[in-house]
Amino acid sequence: MLFSSSIFLFLFLPLMLLGYYGPCRLFGRWSRPVQNLLLLVGSLFFYAWGEPWFVLVMMASILVNYGFGLWVSACQERGRSTRAPIVLSVVCNLGLMFVFKYLTFVLTELGRLGLSLTVPVIELPLGISFFTFQAMSYVLDVNRGRGSVQRNPLKVGLYISFFPQLIAGPIVKYETVAEEIDTRRENWADFSSGVCRFLVGMGKKVILANQLAVVADFAYGRPAGDLSTGMAWLGALCYTLQIYYDFSGYSDMAIGMGRMFGFHFLENFNYPYISRSVTEFWRRWHISLSTWFRDYVYFPLGGSRVDKRWKHIRNLFVVWLLTGIWHGAAWTFILWGLYYFVLQALEKFCGLGRGWPEGLKWLFTFFLVNLGWVLFRAESLSVAIPYLTAMFTPAGGGWDGYATLFLTDNLPILAAALLFSAPVAPWLGRKAENWTGVPALVRDVVYPLLLVALLAVSASFIVKGTYNPFIYSNF
């Protein structure tokens, strides 16, 4: 879709920045409301460009949750229970997601059980899981006193629809930006760091993720009988790196764009592939989603502070089942979520990995994460199971010409992806600070030149129209 492409973003973002820092600043004390209005209108236009009808779904979500926020606030002011508006808001938001995202899947599965049902064709609004969870966060945070209710529906609309993180995250909880909607302070330091962050994220997506996707898509598209063990492992590794650089790249771009407009989003990835346990991995991977489920599901259920072990296990099960379902309407996603439930239960209650050497912990965790991504990537169980079988049973041979060709052609990209999945850049930055005379040179000359080169290379890939998959269509 054009609106999610880098080319459209290159045209859209400068126009938004020009209006934000140009004409909007001429309105004196009304500058902030005008800037917020520009961001809201621009965000709705951004979404409507590729989803002209589904923008109405988003606007309905905004208005409904605006009303629920007022209802919660009114109950609090009168000393009444907020249970009714909270329950109804959850039902309405999840009901919206269910109709668009899960109804077809449920009816199809019921049909396989012998029920005669008409299965409608329902197109999925892009990013519905992201903006629905943000809408729920608004009402829940108002209820918890983590943010003030917004009397102006345009401000609620801006929070839910803000274009940088609208279609691919991170999920921004209302408490994170509640104050910044009105009181943010733009400055050159934030703007310049935002530009740098945006360029790094774009490089991750365009240069690394898109090239790794070619290998992964070939491997997952091969018939299971023709897939060698070497090609299966190479494809799995490339997808493991692809999804990290794709998702973290989008998050970097969103965080960078937010900073350009004065918003400070929390980090979404923290080098997850250096983790030495599955629990640590989920503290580092898609942090905004894991903290959302932690704060709004796991803690309210009691978390780990319960009097019975079975309750703790139940809480983990609920969170991971919902995590799998959130990602998409397919058995592969559900089993992927339950796979992590089993792994975390084994770590917490059976001591899996406890006492192992650190290197072995990392290798085992990375191995388990790779297997999990096979379930996540496969279009169905009929694809996932033969693929996993090929990784351990050389029915198609141990190594073939395809594996050699793809490894040879993509070795520099694969090596760079593996290298930078570890915190190499921060390590180099810390080293540079200890070198006499170097920090100023790095900051003022070398680093900007590297970013210019990154922009040039990324732009060349975009202009050439290289393979540019969008892997969040299920979300």
Active site residues: 327
Burial of 26 (0-12, 13-18, 19+ CB in 10 A): exposed
Q: Where are the beta strands (DSSP E) in 350-392?
A: none
Burial of 375 (0-12, 13-18, 19+ CB in 10 A): buried
| Neighbouring residues of 362: CB distance < 8 A, sequence distance ≥ 6 | 274, 275, 276
**Nearest residue to 329 (alpha-carbon basis) of 53, 94, 100, 4:** 100
CA dist., res. 217 & res. 230, Å (int): 15
CA dist., res. 256 & res. 265, Å (int): 9
CA dist., res. 265 & res. 201, Å (int): 15
DSSP 225: G
Q: Within 10 A of 360 (CB to CB), how many other CB atoms are there?
A: 11
Q: Give CA separation, 227 vs 221, 376, 401, in Å.
A: 9, 19, 11
CA dist., res. 431 & res. 439, Å (int): 9
CA dist., res. 35 & res. 25, Å (int): 8
Q: Give CA separation, 219 vs 377, 385, 402, in Å.
A: 11, 14, 9
Structural contact between residues 188 and 156, judged by C-beta atoms closer than 8 angstroms? no
Quote the crossing angle between the two packed helices 381-392 and 358-377, to the nearest 10°.
140
